[in-house]
Amino acid sequence: MLILLATLAHAADVTKDVAKDTLDIGVLKNTEVKVVQKVLYRKAGTLELGAQLGVMPFDAYSITPQLSLSGVKHLSDTVGLEVQLGGGYGLESGTYTELASATYGVAVESYRYLASAEADVQYSLAYAKMNLGGKKVVHYDLYALAGVGASLEQSMLPSGDIAIAPTVPVGVGGRFFVSKTSFLKLELRDNLLVEHRAQSDTWGFKQNAVVSLGVSILTGGDK
Domain span including residue 160: 45-219
Residue 1 domain-assigned? no
Residue 3 domain-assigned? no
Residue 189 domain-assigned? yes
Half-sphere exposure of 137 (CA within 13 A, CB side): 6
For residue 217, the Cα-to-chain-centroid distance in whole angstroms is 16
- The pLDDT assigned to 156 comes to 94
**Dist. CA 68–CA 169, nearest whole Å:** 14
**Dist. CA 89–CA 100, nearest whole Å:** 19
Higher-confidence position of 15 and 79: 79
- The pLDDT assigned to 1 comes to 47
- The pLDDT assigned to 7 comes to 46
Residue 35 domain-assigned? no
- The pLDDT assigned to 132 comes to 76
pLDDT tens digits for 174-213? 999 999 899 999 999 999 999 999 989 999 999 999 999 9
64: CATH: 2.40.160.20
Residue 120 domain-assigned? yes
pLDDT tens digits for 25-57? 455 455 544 444 567 888 999 999 999 999 999
**How far lies 4's CA from each of 13, 14, 16, in Å?**
14, 16, 19
Residue 51 domain-assigned? yes
Contact 181, 158 (CB under 8 A): no
Residue 19 domain-assigned? no
**Dist. CA 63–CA 112, nearest whole Å:** 9
* Number of helices (H), then strands (E), in the chain: 3, 9
Residue 25 domain-assigned? no
Q: How many domains does the chain have?
A: 1
